[in-house]
Amino acid sequence: MNNSSSEAMKYTCPVDFLSLFSCPNCKSSGLTPVCSGPNSDSFEELQCEACKAEFPLIGGIPRLVDQDNYTGSFGYQWNIHRKTQLDSYCGLPISRDRLYAITKWSGESMKGQRVLEAGSGAGRFTEVLVSTGADIFSFDYSRAVDANACNNGSAENLALFQGNIFNIPFPNIFFDHVLCLGVIQHTPDPEAAFVSLANKVKPGGHLYIDVYTRSWHHMLQWKYILRPLFKRMDMKRLYRLVERMVTVFLPLTKLLKKLFGRLGARLMPIVEYSNIGLDPELNKEWAVLDTFDMYSPAHDHPQSLETVQRWFSEAGFFEVEVWFGANGVVGRGRKPE
């Protein structure tokens, strides 16, 4: 079930992309790549010419945040399940369909456009994004960026970095498209995260998000009953517990879902996805991954549809659409020219 890889990460952030970064500390534009030695052509860090702050390049990836932060569980899970949710691994267009349903992209080339992906995980959506031909700037707060580099690092139109959604290292009004799927609820302040993302959208550009739904029946799920205990457990111990839970409860969960739909599935303390066409072994991988993802995060702050509508309105977006999707509340909007 474990599809982590010992393969060495082979990724180098393109130099022309590095020149577009701003300093997270003083906000000055332009970070200078510093070579590892006088006769070397490889970079070991980025340096801000204004405040002299230094940021390491580890595995070719700019690390613009402290390595120890509240997202440790995400780095852990995505480096174990590096491939699990990739369309190329599943053989199904699950991520592509979800992305295109939210963005309404036509599938035509987006070459020349800039796209910011906030919270990439192992790169399930990154894999689809790089195929558009756009310049993709993708980051995660956790070490999941290492898994993304293994999966998508060969793409020449991809700039990966480890960054903070509250301190995105680019100027405001910089991107044609900004998207954040499955992430905002796991930040300490989802509304502030939304505002930070909205600030990066160019006039005429688009913002796309989704967030867990807040309602009385969603709050009665096993997740919110068990999380207060489980999120405090050691990550490795919790992962082993989740593996055992999935082994025990998976057959009954599938039966209840077949008989009573999503309501039946909510009676069980795990999730599973046999309904979307996954084969049994891959369904078990997804079940372990997403059940661990339910219980382990430090933060889980669902939002109502009305709240997401307010966010877009207060940020001045138009052509706003907000609806209930399969993964929660989905929203998209366009910034005025």
Domain residue extents for the chain: 218-295
Q: What is the pLDDT of residue 218?
A: 75
By C-alpha distance, which of 140, 180, 133 is closest to 157?
A: 133
Angle at 305 between CA 192 and CA 309, to 5 degrees: 60
Taking only the tens place, the pLDDT of each residue in 85-133 is: 999 999 999 999 999 999 999 989 999 999 999 999 999 999 999 999 9
Residue ranges of the chain with per-residue pLDDT less than 70: 1-9, 36-41
How many other C-beta atoms can be found within 10 angstroms of the C-beta atom of residue 52? 10
Distance CA 225, CA 29 (A): 46
Residues 6 or more apart whose Cβ sits within 8 Å of residue 258: 264
Distance CA 86, CA 98 (A): 12
Distance CA 324, CA 97 (A): 16
Full-model pTM? 0.94
Q: Do residues 322 and 329 make contact, with C-beta atoms less than 8 angstroms apart?
A: yes
Q: What is the pLDDT of residue 7?
A: 55
Q: What is the pLDDT of residue 1?
A: 56
Residues 6 or more apart whose Cβ sits within 8 Å of residue 325: 101, 102, 210
Q: H-helix or E-strand containing 105?
A: none
Q: What are phi and psi of 144, to 5 degrees?
A: -60, -20
Q: What is the pLDDT of residue 12?
A: 87
